Amino acid sequence: MADLSFLAAAAHEGAEHAEPTALYLNAGGWVAATMIVLILLMIYLRVPQLIAAGLDKKIAGIKAMLDEAKQLRSEAEALRAEYEKKVRSADAHATELKKAAEEEARQILAKAKDDATALIARRERMAEDKIAAAERAAIDELRAKAADAAAQAARGLIAKGHDAKADKALVDKAISGI
């Protein structure tokens, strides 16, 4: 192996080798020429304008989406404000309803107290009237019994103290008075 490395070193030292070319252009020249042709072809085919038009179209789409998003946001804010207003209105309405219900409950309670007081007074009067009627009925019954007892006693006295002669005198006296 040592012999081979000697030969490779000798070949490098003394000889300059020629670079390959084609149509007087080396590899770097061909790359540059190809790039120039490619750039000229892209300009000829209007690729930059197409890219710019595509980007402009994309920008316009993004602007439209941003405008739509702004509009949606403003609509959402309007809806939010409307619902907040409705919530405040509903809270106020609920407060009003609560106050009205409390007032109505107070009125119903006051009316119930008044009605209960009137009912108690009416029942007391009815009870007093029943008691008075019962007293009158008892007095009337007592009077009737006393009258019956007096009539029976008078009959008994008259029957004992009057005879047919006394009755005739009384009847004659009554007839003459007519």
What is the predicted pLDDT for the residue at 70? 95
The pTM (predicted TM-score) of the whole model is 0.38
What is the predicted pLDDT for the residue at 165? 72
pLDDT tens figures, 31-59: 999 999 999 998 888 888 999 999 999 99
Residues 42, 48 contacting (CB under 8 angstroms): yes
Asked whether residue 45 is domain-assigned, the answer is yes
Cα angle, residue 36 at apex, residues 35 and 41 outer, rounded to 5°: 95
Total domain count for the chain?
A: 1
Asked whether residue 119 is domain-assigned, the answer is yes
Asked whether residue 148 is domain-assigned, the answer is yes
Asked whether residue 149 is domain-assigned, the answer is yes
Asked whether residue 15 is domain-assigned, the answer is no
Asked whether residue 7 is domain-assigned, the answer is no
**Cβ partners under 8 Å of residue 162, min gap 6:** 170
What is the predicted pLDDT for the residue at 1? 47
Q: Which two tokens stand for residue 1?
A: 């192996």
Distance CA 126, CA 139 (A): 19
Domain residue limits at 155: 20-162
Distance of CA 62 to the CA centre of its chain: 42
Asked whether residue 175 is domain-assigned, the answer is no
User: Average pLDDT for consecutive 10-residue bins of the chain (178 residues)?
Assistant: 53 62 85 94 88 94 95 95 93 92 94 92 92 91 88 78 72 82
Asked whether residue 177 is domain-assigned, the answer is no
